[in-house]
A = this chain, B = another copy of it.
Amino acid sequence: MNRTHEWNELAAQLCVDSIRASTAAGSGHPTSSMSAAHLAAVLFADHLRFDVDDPKNLGNDRFVLSKGHASPLLYSALKAIGAISDEQLLSFRKLGSPLQGHPAPVEGMPWVDVATGSLGQGLPIGLGMGLAMRLDDLPGRVWVLIGDSEIVEGSVWEAMANASFHGVRNLIGILDMNRLGQRGPTMLQWDGPRYAERARAFGWRAIEVDGHDVAAIDAAYREAEDGSGPTLIVARTVKGHGVSFLANAEGWHGKALDEQQAKQAIEELGGERHITITPPKPEHIERPAQRRVAFALPTYDDDVATRKAFGESLAALADLEDVVVLDGEVANSTHTEDFQKVAPERFFEMYIGEQGMVGAAVGLQALGKMPFAATFGAFLTRAYDFVRMAAISRATLRLCGSHAGVSIGEDGPSQMALEDFAMMRAVHGSAVLYPADGNATAHLVGEMLKWRGISYMRTTREKTRILYRPEEEFPVGGSKTLRSSAEDRATIVGAGVTVFEALKAADSLAEDGIWVRVIDAYSVKPIDGRTLREALAATGLVVAVEDHWIEGGLGDAVLEALADDGQEFTGRVVKLGVTEMPGSGTPQELRDWAGISAAKIADSIRRALKPA
């Protein structure tokens, strides 16, 4: 009885504070916060095992606000548990405040593990956290607060399917079924039984509850947290609950109340309160120091596909116990199966659901794992929003895309990654790598292991010959100059498969007495600007060749480096890349068709050097 009163008082405070914060900011989502206030009050007061002074304690439960626009609710809860002050609460959405419009794990916000705000991402991330907990035999639970608009996102259903398949026992989704989306009623409105039926069909337990009845919520949480399987709590709620002019009213999504409205609303809610609570105390669990393990990356002296070298390199890292690998049901193509063979318990088959794969990787790294995730490069486009958000999460993710470019040949354009460089260059803080041979691949996998942020490696389907000795270093941001002389009249910059075409072009030009420099720009981002600028200065003509659309890839990276932030630029640059839609053919036929074969590169240089 008393407890009921306390929960309700706390819920009222969360509503009041959500209104105060958003009114002070002049924007935000108070009504989306209010629908879930009782759900959050009972959770933070009595179920979320969480040490506010040690948010990274491995014994903590995790809370993911998938409906990130309800950030005022989260920040109000953080105030109630003593994480932030009332004054900080009122810095919401201001420049420099860690209380951003949507939650992000920025400095000053250690209680948030991952960024949310692009809908439908919380559950895949929560699944990854659940997998991490299971790997380390941690006692925590993962609570994900989900909106009823975002549940249409397919990524939610990828996570639903994978969570039951992988038998994650500690994942609890709380569906805030408040009936109203941004612009009106949601698809299923208050049809709780239908949501429950969908969850059950996907192998979840479902519990329906009145989301403003704190005792019922408490009972539902008790059932959900028994560890018997993934559970969706379908909570019927009212958007703007507790305030006469907001409750279940359309037209209030994402609107802050003005001062007068806020005053009235706060009065209706019983005024300001400053209750503090302490969530249930978790066990204290230290992250074990990672054993220092010597690992030997593979070396190659014979032709090998870089995708195979990638898989073998992963396998070599398996002794590092925090390394985990995810794949989208193509492990025999990406060769992550080589890792699976040696560390099956740390390999996660995410089936054909690339969003769910990357989301789970974000969740795994949030709990200290070192994930690699791989699929065909073309299909990483499916997960671009997750990669973008991972950067906002300050996540360290290692992505690999195999089967790149027209060089995959017969399968045709649907399977050809031709936009992966453009996509991955435009990710904040990313490294974009494209090794040409097996030894470069192995070294660059080692570099990915060290890179903080998002790194992407493109691998090649075909075998390529060995260009580099095993002991060569391949720092991120570097390049290799493979041909160079004082007589060079042009420079060819390639990466991956086009390095071999560049070398053949150089040979063919040499037969005509035309000497050209050849650079392997294995690090497409950051790119080795200094070497490129020296080459332009020395040779006057740079030809960048890529098995990628002409836009946004290696050629653009080369131009950016040559422009060098406004330094004087003199010379000529030709970009060769794919400019027409490919079809099927052999790899060599298609490279020639696309104008990126050795013959076409040589032609291009002969043309450029011809006196006008």
Contacts and interface: CB of A to CB of B under 8 A. Distances in A.
A102 B412 contact: yes
A491 to B, nearest CB: 12
A329 B181 contact: yes
A565 B570 contact: no
A170 interface: no
Contacts of A25: 410
Contact of A410 (B27, B182, B391): B27
B183 A585 contact: no
Nearest to A91: B584
Contact of A551 (B186, B382, B525, B575): B525
Contact of A583 (B97, B116, B153, B378): B97
Q: Which of A158, A182, A566, A573 has the most CB of B within 10 A?
A: A566
Interface in A9-35: 25-28
A422 interface: yes
A469 to B, nearest CB: 32
Contacts of A570: 568-570
A246 B93 CA distance: 60
A439 B409 CA distance: 46
Contact of A426 (B149, B331, B549): B549
A25 B391 CA distance: 42
Contact of A575 (B101, B154, B563, B572): B563
A389 B410 contact: no
A337 B183 CA distance: 9
A352 B117 contact: no
Interface stretch (A79-87, A307-315, A413-421, A507-515): A413-421
A561 B109 CA distance: 43
A475 interface: no
Contacts of A200: 201
Contacts of A93: 410, 412, 584
Contact of A182 (B332, B559, B581): B332
B568 A560 contact: no
Contacts of A149: 329, 351-352
B385 A381 contact: yes
A414 B104 contact: yes
A370 to B, nearest CB: 22
B549 A187 contact: no
B560 A95 contact: no
A552 B549 contact: no
Nearest to A98: B583
A556 interface: yes
A481 interface: no
A117 B566 contact: no
A149 to B, nearest CB: 5
A116 B426 contact: no
A425 interface: yes
B389 A414 contact: yes
Contact of A198 (B95, B202, B559, B567): B202
Interface stretch (A47-55, A265-273, A443-451, A586-594): A586-594
A197 to B, nearest CB: 4
A382 B329 CA distance: 20
Given A158-B153, A337-B183, A382-B385, A412 B552 contact: no
A152 interface: yes
Interface string A147-165: 0011011111110011001
Interface string A171-214: 00000000001110011000000100110111000000000000
A60 to B, nearest CB: 24
A355 interface: yes
A571 B569 contact: yes
A242 interface: no
Contact of A422 (B106, B187, B422, B571): B422
17 contacts: A95-B586, A102-B414, A104-B412, A117-B414, A154-B155, A181-B352, A182-B329, A182-B330, A183-B331, A183-B332, A187-B351, A197-B201, A389-B414, A423-B423, A541-B566, A566-B572, A568-B571
Interface of A: 25-28, 68, 93-97, 99-102, 104, 106, 115-120, 149-150, 152-158, 161-162, 165, 181-183, 186-187, 194, 197-198, 200-202, 329-333, 337, 351-353, 355-356, 378-379, 381-382, 384-385, 388-389, 391-392, 394, 410-415, 418-419, 422-423, 425-429, 525, 541, 543, 548-553, 555-557, 559-560, 563, 565-575, 580-581, 583-586, 589-590, 593, 604, 608
Given A186-B351, A355-B382, A382-B385, 17 more contacts: A25-B410, A95-B583, A100-B413, A101-B410, A101-B414, A101-B415, A116-B414, A153-B158, A181-B352, A183-B329, A183-B330, A378-B385, A381-B384, A419-B427, A426-B552, A551-B560, A569-B571
